[in-house]
Amino acid sequence: MDLRAFASAFVAIFVAELGDKTQLATLSMAAGGSSRWAVFAGSALALVATSGIAVLAGEAVSRFVSPLWLRRGAGVIFLVLGALFLFGRGEGGE
């Protein structure tokens, strides 16, 4: 196993998920009296499933597009979304 890739993925996803809507929804479900273990298992499985889809999609796309262009494209998308949210055209920006 490539430990550097593992650590990079773990840190990036862990930091990105802190305080996001998914974590807040999970917190709400666990606080709502549901079984904490069932909420944990369901949310963990959902994150694993979405990550699996992303890995498969990334592998498929990388066959046609170089990683450099994928990073550049992702960077442009993040900048555009950031600008939209900053200037009030994003979700709840009014």
59 and 72 co-located in one domain: no
Spatial distance between the Cα atoms of 72 and 55, rounded to a whole number of angstroms:
18
Enclosing domain of residue 81: 66-94
Distance CA 8, CA 49 (A): 19
Judgement on whether residues 90 and 53 belong to the same structural domain of the protein: no
Shared domain check, 53 and 9: yes
| Residue 1 to residue 20: CA distance in whole angstroms | 29
Q: Give the chain's radius of gyration (CA, Å).
A: 17
Tens of pLDDT, residue by residue over 37-74, are 999 999 999 999 999 999 999 889 989 999 899 889 98
pTM above 0.85, yes or no: no
- Looking at residue 20, the DSSP 8-state letter turns out to be S
Quote the CA–CA distance of 29 and 12 in Å, as a whole number: 25
